[in-house]
Amino acid sequence: MNSSSETSRSLWMATATVRTAPTLDASLQVDAVIVGAGIAGLSVAYELSRAGRRVAVLDRGPLGGGMTARTTAHLASAFDDYFYEYVRLRGEREARAYFQSQSAAISRIESIQQDEGIDCDFARVDGYLSLAPGCDPRILEREFAACQQIGFVEAEWAHRSPLPGGEGMPALRFRNQGRFHPLKYLDGLVGAIEARGGRLFAETAVVGVEEKGGEVVVSTTSGHTVRAGAAIVATNSPVNDWLAMHTKQAPYRTYAIAARAQDGVMEDALFWDTLDPYHYVRLHPSSDGGGPWVIVGGEDHKTGEANDFEARFGALEAWMRRHLPGARAVEHRWSGQVMEPVDLAPFIGLNPGDKHVFIATGDSGEGITTGVVAGMLLSDLAQGKPNDWEQAYRPGRKTLRALGAFLSENATVATNFTEYVRPGAISSLDDLKPGEGAVLRDSGKKVAAYRDAGGSLHLRSAVCSHAGCIVHWNALETCWDCPCHGSHFDVDGQPLHGPAIYPLAEHKQGR
């Protein structure tokens, strides 16, 4: 199981499938074992198998069923958190490396889909950062200056937005960005890995990643193990690390809608604005002649801190109607989670304290391209080769200059622990209607209670199995979200998204 068991379905889930894989039914020995079959894990597996290495990929759910199935798949070398902030926090050299790696990631997708014959609707399009009403125009001036400083020559003043009526609007244009269908691409990667002898296993949850005598042993819930010279943990949020990495990033829920439109509803481009959280918009072609899809995303909040999805989808739709009057009825609505690193760059490289275990996490809103960067960077590192981007992404780096963000993101954990002594959202199970979930207090314990459509109760401990925070109900996805580090659990307590690997404990009423 993984987040594919959450309720909402993305446009991608409705229009493509990733091929299936068996579960691991015997122990194995390979050159490299990859945990997680999203864009990051499959990109690493692809690069290593192309380099002639024997790889095994293990996923706790269906292949491609994680956050990659819930993306909006803008492929951007422009930076959604602003390069001027990156230069301030991390310096010009690292900002330049970040830009170059993201740009290389788009080119890598372009060449892989060509080489492997993957029909994934890839196209190069321009990206526009548009000034939103009420925002300081100096944001664009600073961003343009930072782009020039780091050698991003395809950034230029556009003085227009790609939305209808956008002539004369303050905006920067970034040439040569891209877009694709993420699940069609992942399915093609799986085929290419298999064709090179790579082994892939679904519904195979990893519970241990341990270095032993110069190799790594990866253990699974079934008891079978995979031994390898290197392990790559690409589970979006690392399941091999208890706390250190999780204090350097914070989980955010983000929302997206898709509606059909007439051709020409807007320029075929990427659009995002200067609000925080920002709106992100693009078109995607449809193959059935029904007109292109308009995809609008935004309305982010810290995971577990809001449960008002109708209001958030309503706000996205109202924004779409205002700016894209040619859009028709909304046909798809979904949410997903991104991990925001406190010092802006993802963490891709050697897991701190290990010699043969690598991680890819801290995806932020650009996790598709950073997943492809992970493919190139980690395949080099796992083969003992140097890589120019290693410094920019190293997971062991100190985040001292980002102390403010570090403290404010980690305050969530302290606040959450006060929930142990606070009353629950409801005082009695009788208050729970069919289809509702809520945390309540029973015999001094916090309980995650859900009443299903048939009226049956599902009770689990509300204490997250990762590090003990209290989980919150997510009515859109019919799951429990942990605000501290972003674990998700189904109504019977089974983990759907890490870092948790174990279920919520059982709860017996009155005990």
Contact pattern for ligand FAD over residues 190 through 219, marking x by CB under 6 A: ---------------xx-------------
Among 59, 121, 143, 187, contact with ligand FAD (rule: CB under 6 A):
59
Q: Kindly list the distances between the CA atom of residue 120 and the CA atoms of 12, 20, 42, 259, 416, in Å, as whole numbers in the listed order.
A: 11, 18, 15, 20, 42
Instruction: Name which position in 69, 499, 501, 507 contacts ligand FES (CB under 6 A).
Output: 499
Nearest to 201 by CA among 407, 334, 23, 27: 23
292 binds, among ligand FAD, ligand FES, none (CB under 5 to 8 A by kind): none
Find the shortest distance in angstroms from Cβ 78 to ligand FAD. Answer: 11
Which x/- pattern over 452-491 shows residues binding ligand FES (rule: CB under 6 A)?
A: ------------x-xxxx------------x-xxxx----
On the question of a cis peptide bond just before residue 434, with omega within 30 degrees of 0, the verdict is no
* By CB under 6 A, residue 324 contacts ligand FES: no
User: CB of residue 426 vs ligand FES: minimum separation in angstroms?
Assistant: 21
Of the two residues 109 and 482, which places its CB atom closer to ligand FES in the complex?
A: 482
Using the minimum distance from each CB to ligand FES, give the nearer residue, 306 or 467: 467
Mark the segment that binds ligand FAD (CB under 6 A) among 14-22, 66-74, 139-147, 350-358: 66-74
Interacting partner of 485 out of ligand FES, ligand FAD, none (Cβ under 5 to 8 A depending on kind): ligand FES
How many secondary structure helices (H) and strands (E) does the chain include?
A: 10, 24
Quote the tokens at residue 387.
Answer: 């890589």
For residue 188, state whether it binds ligand FAD (rule: CB under 6 A). Answer: no
Range 122-125 contact pairs with CB under 8 angstroms and sequence separation of 24 or more: 122/178, 122/179, 122/180, 122/185, 123/178, 123/179, 123/180, 123/268, 124/176, 124/177, 124/178, 125/177, 125/178, 125/179, 125/268, 125/269, 125/270, 125/282
Exactly one of 54, 65, 122, 450 binds ligand FAD (CB under 6 A); which one? 65
Three-point CA angle 466, 470, 471, nearest 5°: 85
Least spacing, CB of residue 15 vs ligand FAD, in Å = 16
Residues in contact with 296: Cβ distance below 8 Å, sequence separation at least 6, in sequence order: 256, 257, 258, 279, 280, 281, 316, 317, 319, 320, 324
What is the smallest separation between the CB atom of 359 and ligand FES, expressed in angstroms? 16
Distance, CA of 164 to CA of 129 (rounded, Å)? 15
What single-letter amino acid sits at 92? E
Q: Is 74 in the site for ligand FES (CB under 6 A)?
A: no
Gyration radius from the chain CA atoms? 22
d(CA 495, CA 382): 29
Q: How far is the CB of 1 from ligand FAD (least distance, A)?
A: 8
Residues found near ligand FAD in the complex (CB under 6 A): 2, 35-41, 58-61, 65-68, 70-74, 205-206, 234-236, 239, 254, 256, 280, 297, 336-338, 363, 365-369, 371, 498, 501
Residues found near ligand FES in the complex (CB under 6 A): 464, 466-469, 482, 484-487, 499-500
